[in-house]
Structure 1
Amino acid sequence: MQSPDTTTAPAAAAAAAGGCPMHAAASDGVRPLYGAEAEAQPYALYEQLRAEHGEVAPVRLYADVPAWLILGHRENLEVMRSKNFSSDSRNWHAIRNGTLAPDSPLRPITAWQPLVALTDGTEHARLREAVTESLAGVNRHRLRRYITRYAVRLIDDFSGEGKADLVADFARKLPAFVVAHQLGIPESAALSVGAAVSDMISGGDAALAGNQLVVETVHDLVESRKLQPGDDLASRLLAHPRGLTDEEVRQHLRLILVGALEPTANLIANTLRMVLTDSRFRGNLSGGQMTLPDALEQVLWDHPPLAVVPTRWATCDIEVGGTRIGAGDMVMLGLAAGNVDPVIRADIDKPVHGNRSHLSFGAGAHECPGQDLGRAVAETGIDLLLERVPDATLSIPDDELQVVGTCMSRRLTSLPVAFEPRRQAAPAAVAPQVPREPVEPEAAPAPAPADPRSWRFWRR
């Protein structure tokens, strides 16, 4: 997403945009949440805002649109669970008053649609039931079989080379294959759809083309499943008794693609980086003292796939964390900031084993319904990768790895590794058909105890 001119607007402009008096009066001193400096060091910005404002801070978005950023862990949960905050952007004074520019980059991510993520009340309950029950129809054993199939295929593609980019060659491709299969998208289209979603998230020149490909893909999928239903999410959504329209099904399939691919790819990439570079985990994992789920949970605390969720609006004047928020104000959930709140993490370097109280999947009525599926893809895929290529080491210094993105989502651009090439097994020769005497099968040897140095040992 391109950042527009960052010139500070006068206080009158903030007031005209509908900001509350406190927000307008502080306009000249309010920090922007976008731009090179803010996006390069977001955690430093969070701490500056926390020191200046407490757990709720005024910020500026593109074209000086005012908003509140929730920094505290408890305060984020309060907003997520309160009926005084809506996910319907029609409550936003900038929409009601027509002061949000027609070409604002905020429109694509805040424009109201009849989606489970952007509705409240009975309509939200109807759509959420359809989505959650359709997701519940996923066969978990079969899902892990497909994850394994695709992970092994991807690993085999590069294991003979002795090198790989674990972001491009694995972290982005594995979710694309698995999610496409679960939705009903043909395997041949999985990688192109995954790349299109990535283009959409990046907000660059290819964003519109990426969105168009996704729209066409889900349109064709819905038409296909109306004629020939299958065991997939598209078919289950079409057949759900809540009676979703074809357009609602298409929009939710698009939402699931965007909501599943980017966060899962980021979770895989960030976990692999941590395992490869962080001595706290490398030593513990190889020694059997930490499980892979522990490592995934640590990443969800330290590097949530989505850092900020900009889809809450106050429905009344209300106080949060000692700060007055006006009716119609935009309120942004600071997931990353809340996860490092010193109130709950006084020692930021201390591991948080077994603690799932992070904010990465949200809470309340809009908690992510597919979080267990994302964890399954990441855990199974990483487990197989580290088992089959246990000697992988980073090819460049950790501080040379690059992370790019916006205030809402950040991604690791690459993760180059080197390892001993694995020789691909040659196809077995066809033996001549010679009659043999029947031989009694030998008893299977007892399984050897798990080697505590192996990756399989710590996947418990």
Structure 2
Amino acid sequence: MTREAAHYPDHTDAVRFYGPQIAEDPAALYQQMRQRGPVVPILLDGDMPAWFVLGYREVHHITNNPQWFARDCRRWNIYDQIPGDWPLIPYVGWTPSVMFAEGAEHHRRAGAIGDALHEVNRTELIATCAKVADRLIDGFVGNGTADLITEYAYQIPARVIARLFGLPDADVPALVQDVFDSLDSDDNAAQAHQRVHARMQQLVADKHAHPGRDVPSRMLAHPAQLTDDEVVIDLLVMMAAAQAPTGNWIGNTLRLMLVDDEFSVTLQGGRSSAAQALNEVLWKDTPTQNFIGRWAVQDCQLGGRTIRKGDLLVLGLAAANTDPQVLPHSHSDSGNNRAHMSFGHGEHGCPWPAPELAETIAKTAVEVLIDRLPDVTLAAPPDDLQWRPSVWMRGLFTLPVVFTPTLPPHQAGR
């Protein structure tokens, strides 16, 4: 046990919340941890102590009370002892972004983002999503086989967001690749992030000179009077927040529709179950499993535990969604139930209307695929599909499928 953990007497029997084996069966892990209560002591990478909050009511309480559980990571009572190369630095390294802003400053920043997103024309968004999806399918429809993760689900969010940001079509492929690379953990991630950052800086400069009907232009013109640096870093936050969660949402939904008998029947018949499948995934296989986090503003009691000022609380979003006290019994129950925690909750949840726009992107992606590949089936046994070994995000490595090959519309003379 590290010196930091030794100062936490309640963590002598803490659960190690890292390592490849910890993510093998997250549902079983959460069920096992739930036996210890709604709040459980854990050790993050390097045995750094934290609290895992897996009760739905407790997660709701934390996210609903930012005056007691705040977002500024510099409140962490061992923040000065965290090494610079700690694996979770991307989650807790402070930046002057909307992610870590609090109070009036957060309202100012999040309000500008929400207003800029609210102005996105929904009809145009659906058309953009459909165009992106169709072009991707055109690339593999003649093969009769595809990997719906790397060739489809992961490609769509960044391509759509790039268009909402008003980027020229010629710039999109390189930006999309850099977004992918920046979210990896290899040596290229830092350089890719720098390139994305530089592209957002240039984009903001371009929008000053030539404003348009796009998100950056609306943020620059907003009454919140955001600085260029604020717009740049919040555009980066939006890009990252949209890419992996939405890509995994699409992929997890397609998997569900291909392996679950209740959904696969309607998969062959049309779109009727797409919305239910999307919502079922948020309850049962939500892309964002766990979230770092909140920091206690003062000593308090939570779920029968004594939380000290500055303690880190990890929000178990997936565990809260599967809390037996709130979990719908089946997709027929969850179809109209949007009380899940998959987008967070409270003022630091995903700013409205981001969840609605993400759902539009995901739903359009699923529906276009169903329309274009009506006989698509898995090319591997369901048990052979491998989840990425992460306790933070829930997504597949691959989703191999087969279907009847056809010519793309432009080659078929249509």
TM range (shorter): over 0.9
User: Which residue, 7, 14, 17 being the options, matches 2:5?
Assistant: 14
- Residue 441 of structure 1 is matched in structure 2 by none
Tell me, in whole angstroms, the C-alpha distance in 2 between the residues paired with 1:287 and 1:161: 23
Deviates more, 1:198-207 or 1:252-261: 198-207
- Residue 408 of structure 1 is matched in structure 2 by 392
Tell whether the 8 Å contact from 2:270 to 2:370 is kept in structure 1 after alignment: no
Which deviations, in whole Å up to 9, do the C-alpha atoms of 1:214-271 show, x marking residues without a partner? 1121111112111111111111111111111111011001000000111110011000
Percent identity for Structure 1 against Structure 2: 38
User: Which residue, 135, 149, 152 being the options, matches 2:117?
Assistant: 135
Tell whether the 8 Å contact from 1:118 to 1:311 is kept in structure 2 after alignment: no
- Residue 27 of structure 2 is matched in structure 1 by 43
- Residue 304 of structure 1 is matched in structure 2 by 286
Tell whether the 8 Å contact from 1:238 to 1:249 is kept in structure 2 after alignment: yes
Deviates more, 1:69-78 or 1:185-194: 185-194
Tell me, in whole angstroms, the C-alpha distance in 2 between the residues paired with 1:428 and 1:191: 26
1:63 matches 2:46: yes
CA, structure 1 residues 308+79, in 2 after alignment: closer, same or farther (shift >3 Å)? same
1:32 matches 2:32: no
Length-normalised TM-score, structure 1: 0.85
- 5+ residue gaps, structure 2: none
1:347 Cα deviation after fit: 4.5
1:416 Cα deviation after fit: 1.1
Task: Write the letter of the residue equivalent to 1:399.
Answer: D
Which deviations, in whole Å up to 9, do the C-alpha atoms of 1:100-155 show, x marking residues without a partner? 22322233321222222211111111111111111111111111111111111112
SS in 2 for 1:116: coil
1:25-174 equivalences under 5 Å are: 26=12, 29-51=13-35, 53-82=36-65, 83-95=67-79, 98-174=80-156
- Residue 217 of structure 2 is matched in structure 1 by 235
RMSD: 2.0
CA, structure 1 residues 258+365, in 2 after alignment: closer, same or farther (shift >3 Å)? same
SS in 1 for 2:42: strand
1:278 matches 2:266: no
1:407 Cα deviation after fit: 1.7
SS in 2 for 1:208: helix
Tell whether the 8 Å contact from 1:317 to 1:324 is kept in structure 2 after alignment: yes
Task: Write the letter of the residue equivalent to 1:57.
Answer: V
User: Which residue, 319, 325, 331 being the options, matches 2:313?
Assistant: 331
Deviates more, 1:173-182 or 1:204-213: 204-213
1:300 Cα deviation after fit: 0.8
1:273 Cα deviation after fit: 0.5
1:371 matches 2:355: yes
Tell whether the 8 Å contact from 1:115 to 1:248 is kept in structure 2 after alignment: yes
Task: Write the letter of the residue equivalent to 2:10.
Answer: M
1:289 Cα deviation after fit: 10
- Residue 295 of structure 1 is matched in structure 2 by 277
1:384-423 equivalences under 5 Å are: 384-423=368-407
- 5+ residue gaps, structure 1: 1-7, 430-460
CA, structure 1 residues 404+335, in 2 after alignment: closer, same or farther (shift >3 Å)? same
- Residue 214 of structure 1 is matched in structure 2 by 196
Tell me, in whole angstroms, the C-alpha distance in 2 between the residues paired with 1:285 and 1:372: 23
- Residue 205 of structure 1 is matched in structure 2 by 187
SS in 2 for 1:117: coil
SS in 1 for 2:239: helix
SS in 2 for 1:359: coil
1:333-352 equivalences under 5 Å are: 333-345=315-327, 347=329, 352=334
Tell whether the 8 Å contact from 1:172 to 1:194 is kept in structure 2 after alignment: no
Which deviations, in whole Å up to 9, do the C-alpha atoms of 1:287-334 show, x marking residues without a partner? 789531111000111111211110210001111122221110000110
Tell whether the 8 Å contact from 1:300 to 1:360 is kept in structure 2 after alignment: yes
SS in 2 for 1:152: helix
CA, structure 1 residues 426+179, in 2 after alignment: closer, same or farther (shift >3 Å)? closer
Length-normalised TM-score, structure 2: 0.94
1:204 Cα deviation after fit: 2.4
CA, structure 1 residues 284+427, in 2 after alignment: closer, same or farther (shift >3 Å)? closer
SS in 2 for 1:404: coil
How many corresponding residue pairs?
410
CA, structure 1 residues 351+189, in 2 after alignment: closer, same or farther (shift >3 Å)? farther
SS in 1 for 2:395: strand
Tell whether the 8 Å contact from 1:14 to 1:64 is kept in structure 2 after alignment: yes
Tell whether the 8 Å contact from 1:171 to 1:266 is kept in structure 2 after alignment: yes
Task: Write the letter of the residue equivalent to 1:34.
Answer: Y
Deviates more, 1:190-199 or 1:215-224: 190-199
Tell whether the 8 Å contact from 1:147 to 1:178 is kept in structure 2 after alignment: yes
1:22 Cα deviation after fit: 2.1
Which of 1 and 2 has higher RCO (CA within 8 Å, sep 6+)?
2
CA, structure 1 residues 405+259, in 2 after alignment: closer, same or farther (shift >3 Å)? farther
1:427 Cα deviation after fit: 6.5
Tell me, in whole angstroms, the C-alpha distance in 2 between the residues paired with 1:195 and 1:405: 22
CA, structure 1 residues 231+140, in 2 after alignment: closer, same or farther (shift >3 Å)? same
CA, structure 1 residues 108+174, in 2 after alignment: closer, same or farther (shift >3 Å)? closer
Tell me, in whole angstroms, the C-alpha distance in 2 between the residues paired with 1:142 and 1:183: 13
Tell me, in whole angstroms, the C-alpha distance in 1 between the residues paired with 2:206 and 2:224: 21
1:382 matches 2:366: yes
Tell me, in whole angstroms, the C-alpha distance in 1 between the residues paired with 2:340 and 2:161: 24
Tell me, in whole angstroms, the C-alpha distance in 2 between the residues paired with 1:356 and 1:346: 11
Tell me, in whole angstroms, the C-alpha distance in 2 between the residues paired with 1:287 and 1:413: 27
Tell whether the 8 Å contact from 2:296 to 2:312 is kept in structure 1 after alignment: yes
